[in-house]
Amino acid sequence: MPRPSFFHSLVRSVLLTLCTFIILAGLVAGGFWLHGKRGVKVDKGSWLVLDLYGALHEYHLPSGPLAMVTGGGDVTLQDMLDDLGKAALDDRIDGVIFKISSSNDAGWAKLQELRQAVDKVQAAGKPVYAWGDALDLRALYLAAGCNKVMMPTGGYFQFKGMGRKMPYLRGVLDKLGIIPHLHKIKDYKAAAELVMDKGMSEAVRENEGALLDDTWEMVLDAIGTERGLSRDKLLELMNYAEFTPTEAQQAGLIDECIYMQELTERLAGDEAKDKRLKTIGAADYAQVSWKDVGLHTGQTIAVVHAQGNIGGRENRVDPVLGVMMGHDSIVRELQRCRYDDKVKAVVFRIDSGGGESLASDLMAHEVGKLAQVKPVVVSMVDVAGSGGYYIAYQATKLVADPLTVTGSIGSINGFFDMKGFYDKIGLTKDGLSKGPMAELGTDTREPTPEEWQRFTDAHWISYNEWLQDVAKHRGWTMDEARGYAYGRVFTGNQAMRIGMVDTVGNLDDAVALAAGLAGLDASEAPRVVHLPEKQDFLDSVLHQGNGVDDPVAMAVDAALYRQVHMRLQETLRYLATDHRNLVR
């Protein structure tokens, strides 16, 4: 195949370089345009419209390349809390329409925090109307806290008791020929049972029952009080279970059957042009700053968000494991707070059921170091258990929502004997080993008694070191610590009673506590910054608000640099080469 001429190659290289620069210029220009679009005009008499549907993450997920360019991303719990807080103070906002669907994954604590944020708007004399296309007990728990609960006549309404089913995989593993060798510490560590057993142990059943009882009481008390229905009446209605919206209205569970178009026309009034209500969505209103509504102008408190399964180095979204919390990402933000003199206190916001012990330990260590320098207040959301509690307890103070699930001071370690499965699929393994315990944890046979003893002894030693540290920080004796440990979980209310957390409250309570511990002026609302920052493309390129070691900015810069540098090098190579033999 003939090689291209020097002239053809040079032109191609120059054109590719120019195209690269044009693309980059377009991206940067688009970034500047998006950056300029951040300011949102809010008309006087507007209504804030929130929509709870689908996933509700506590905070923004790590952004991919497309999200960085578009500034996209789902509305989070933090967005909604901020929007409701600002709406309460914003004279341009007349009220809130809260669209609520049972098709959401918010836990009880998230719903509880949203209810408390709704209270702020109502306390400011502004109505909050809940409109649901599909409601169940969880959705009604939030909706009932609003001024009115409304549905379309074609909506779905289910009102029944609460419960939780867990999948047990032991039967599946048996069929596949896989034998789990897991060591759990101890009786209440329910996650291990999902693999080791075919059903719930009595210890776990007792613990889950205590959680269910506490949640049940709080939820029914709230709904009964707000809907004006007795406990007996609520239980009677649950026997009916499946309601049409019309039936739900007749039963007093909702206030009115109305379509969204009719609701907005009613709120707009006859004088409104085309009967259109002035509204602003959650994502747009999130761009309104707290300064715009006259708040958060004092000294700085940082809120460091830690969500997802613990494991690995960087925060990310794993296609199999979901949202992951990386220790490097969290430690980096905590260190920024430690070294930044402008940050007077830190709220460590945790929504995690745990994960890898090493990553938990590295983050916990940094929390302890930070707490030696300035106040650190933990704010727990839906769950702060196992590793989620591990990273919390070295803080100055621990705050949990009343319906948070926390504790689970236990541990699981082990491996799987895959030989039966390998036999089924015809896979064989062969090799050599040398030295004592060389094949400890091998997946082709059961462990020997000596191997298993050494494995479990090491697990207990590591666990007891952790438990001793928890006891020291929480002021427990070891006997008390054991009574609250071994995987046992508690609601926030229960955890406060035993001293596992210091108090119950939401994010606002945690911020106020941090401000008090830092000795900040109580008459001035602190400036609250959230970390890691949500970044768009321009922020990443220009390092706005970030240190020079910010990983997102570095990744984007590196990618851009590689593209430009590669094209420039290609051009220079052609210019520097003896091309006499290439001429045709």
Indicate whether 150 and 79 sit together in one domain: yes
Label residue 540 by pLDDT band (50, 70, 90). very low
pLDDT at 560: 47
Helix (H), strand (E) at residue 582: none
pLDDT, one tens digit per residue, over 542-569 is 444 343 344 444 444 444 444 444 445 4
Residue 166 within any structural domain of the chain: no
Indicate whether 68 and 148 sit together in one domain: yes
Indicate whether 32 and 51 sit together in one domain: no
Residue 211 within any structural domain of the chain: no
Label residue 27 by pLDDT band (50, 70, 90). low
DSSP lists the bridge partners of residue 317 as 323
CATH number at residue 65: 3.90.226.10
Residue 451 within any structural domain of the chain: no
Indicate whether 385 and 498 sit together in one domain: yes
| Inter-residue contact 282 to 49 (CB < 8 Å) | yes
Residue 450 within any structural domain of the chain: no
Indicate whether 145 and 255 sit together in one domain: yes
Residue 461 within any structural domain of the chain: no
Angle, helices 202-227 vs 108-123, to 10°: value is: 20
pLDDT, one tens digit per residue, over 471-490 is 999 999 999 999 999 999 99
Residue 187 within any structural domain of the chain: no
Determine the Cα–Cα distance for residues 454 and 462; give it in Å rounded to an integer.
12
Indicate whether 252 and 134 sit together in one domain: yes
Enclosing domain of residue 380: 296-410+486-534
Indicate whether 56 and 28 sit together in one domain: no
For range 366-387, the mean pLDDT:
98
Label residue 295 by pLDDT band (50, 70, 90). confident
If one counts every other C-beta atom within 10 angstroms of the C-beta of residue 142, the result is: 26
CA 417 to chain CA centroid, nearest Å:
34
For range 222-228, the mean pLDDT:
98
User: First and final CA of the chain: distance in angstroms?
Assistant: 13
pLDDT, one tens digit per residue, over 166-210 is 999 999 999 999 999 999 999 999 999 999 999 999 999 999 999
pLDDT, one tens digit per residue, over 333-347 is 999 999 999 999 999
pLDDT, one tens digit per residue, over 154-169 is 999 999 999 989 999 9
Instruction: Assess whether pLDDT exceeds 80 at residue 291.
Output: yes
Structure tokens at 308: 């997802």
Indicate whether 517 and 576 sit together in one domain: no
Indicate whether 491 and 358 sit together in one domain: yes
Residue 127 within any structural domain of the chain: yes
Residue 351 within any structural domain of the chain: yes
Indicate whether 314 and 400 sit together in one domain: yes
DSSP lists the bridge partners of residue 54 as 104
Phi and psi at 45, nearest 5°, equal 85, 15
Indicate whether 395 and 500 sit together in one domain: yes
Instruction: Assess whether pLDDT exceeds 80 at residue 221.
Output: yes
Indicate whether 508 and 399 sit together in one domain: yes
Peptide bond before 4: cis, by omega within 30 degrees of 0? Answer: no
Mark residue 471 as left, alpha or beta (left: phi above 0; alpha: psi -120 to 50; beta: remaining): alpha
The number of domains in the chain is 3
Determine the Cα–Cα distance for residues 495 and 474; give it in Å rounded to an integer.
12
